[in-house]
Amino acid sequence: MVLVAWTCCEVGRAERLGFAQADSLLAQRNHALRSARLDVCAAEGQLAQSKHYDNPTVSVMYNVQNPNNHRWLDGGHDGEVDVQVSQPFAIGGQHTEQVKQNAALLKATHSQLLVTQRDLRTEVHTAMVDLYYQQQQARVYDEEIASAEKILAAYHEQSEKGNIAAMETQRIATMVYQLRKSRADLLLEASALEAQLRQLLALPGSEPLTVDLDEHVALANASGLYLALQAGQRAALDTLPEMQLLSQQKEAAQHALRWQRSQSLPQLAVQGEYDKNGSIGHNYFAVGLSVAVPLWNRNRGNIRSAQAAVAQVAIDKERQQLALTQQRQADLDIVGQYLKQLAEPSPTLDSDLSQMLHAAEQQFMSRHISLMEFVDLYSNYRDTMLARLDAKNKMLQAAERLKIMWNK
């Protein structure tokens, strides 16, 4: 009810989306996550089914015409009825290994659900960080475009009076056009991120999304997380759901191998028979044992295939362990490098650059600097601001990956 109310109250205006709200929406609405939960239900059903034993086979034969008295469908004393019952039973793990395999696969499905949930959460958080900084970069263009348009309007007026060369006015006009084009491209990228988030969170509507992110808190938390993870160099890989998933898949593959080996044993079935008027005598009862002797087919091909599957899971586990270790170090390097970069050359660089932009505008309007100097100052302002925002973007995305995966 809270989520529905939150969504409805945002209709008709920009929707603010925080990380906690996104996590709640993801857990309730994401299609892939809902499908993964059904995989768990399917695995539970498979385990329950594997615990049941095979059903008995009953066959009944009734004579059509009695050869002794030539009566049709004779149900009397001399009529013939033959009833046979066969019940297979398992030996050497032919039943229990399948149950153990499905139990391991159920645990693997639970781990896969955790992996899916965490990966989707990481995707949502990094997309939100990316969207926030795309919108921040658009504001940089907005500020520069507003300043350049004010200068352009003044230059048009002076150009019409003949006080300023038309070439200078045209140069300012082309600069404004290029800024608008870059801003439009940036907004298209932001729109694609909004569509991605709406798909992941199953959000209806088309109102613009605004990410609720406290940048100062986020940067401070990223710095603290970096120091904490750097202090604990050894990563607890075995606790990650990916590694638990592979361990459970290996366990399931081992049980599958044992089951294939059990299939090389004889297939046994207890049999019983009742013959009303057989060749031996009236009301004949018999019990017996049926044995399928593994003479020509000893299931060796399936055993070799199951052995290869066990070896493949072991290889996958090694590869996953290496990939996780490398990704962790790569994200730590990203956070560490950008923390250093953002600390230089001055903590007040962002405000200094904004002041520089307005100063350049005043200086150019007063004709104290040339057109080339003005364009160079605007370009330096834009490139520096965008570079710093890009650094924060990449650093916080890496910090979110580290936090969700490693900060237990």
**56 DSSP 8-state letter:** P
- The percent of residues above 90 in pLDDT, for the chain, comes to 62
pLDDT of residue 351: 64
pLDDT of residue 372: 77
Mean pLDDT calculated for residue range 296-315: 95
Count Cβ atoms within 10 A of the Cβ of residue 169 and give its class: 0-12 exposed, 13-18 middle, 19 or more buried.
buried
Angle between helices 300-342 and 241-262 (to 10 degrees): 180
pLDDT of residue 54: 92
pLDDT of residue 352: 65
Count the neighbouring beta carbons within 10 Å of the beta carbon of residue 41: 10
Sorting pLDDT into bands at 50, 70 and 90, what band is 187?
A: very high
- Whether residue 156 is predicted with pLDDT greater than 70 in this model: the reply is yes
pLDDT tens figures, 1-33 = 334 334 444 444 668 999 999 999 999 999 999
**Contact 176/154 with Cβ under 8 angstroms?**
no
Tell me the CA distances in angstroms from 303 to 97, 246, 253, 261, one per residue in order: 14, 21, 11, 6
**Contact 241/111 with Cβ under 8 angstroms?**
yes
Which of 154, 176, 171, 172 is closest to 163 using CA atoms?
A: 154
How far apart CA 33 and CA 176 sit, in angstroms, is 46
More confident residue, 103 or 342: 103
Mean pLDDT calculated for residue range 259-272: 94
Count Cβ atoms within 10 A of the Cβ of residue 153 and give its class: 0-12 exposed, 13-18 middle, 19 or more buried.
exposed
Using DSSP's 3-state secondary structure scheme, residue 72 falls into strand
How far apart CA 327 and CA 320 sit, in angstroms, is 10
How far apart CA 47 and CA 103 sit, in angstroms, is 6
Radius of gyration of the chain (CA): 37
pLDDT of residue 235: 65
- Whether residue 295 is predicted with pLDDT greater than 90 in this model: the reply is no
Q: How far apart are the first and last CA of the chain?
A: 30
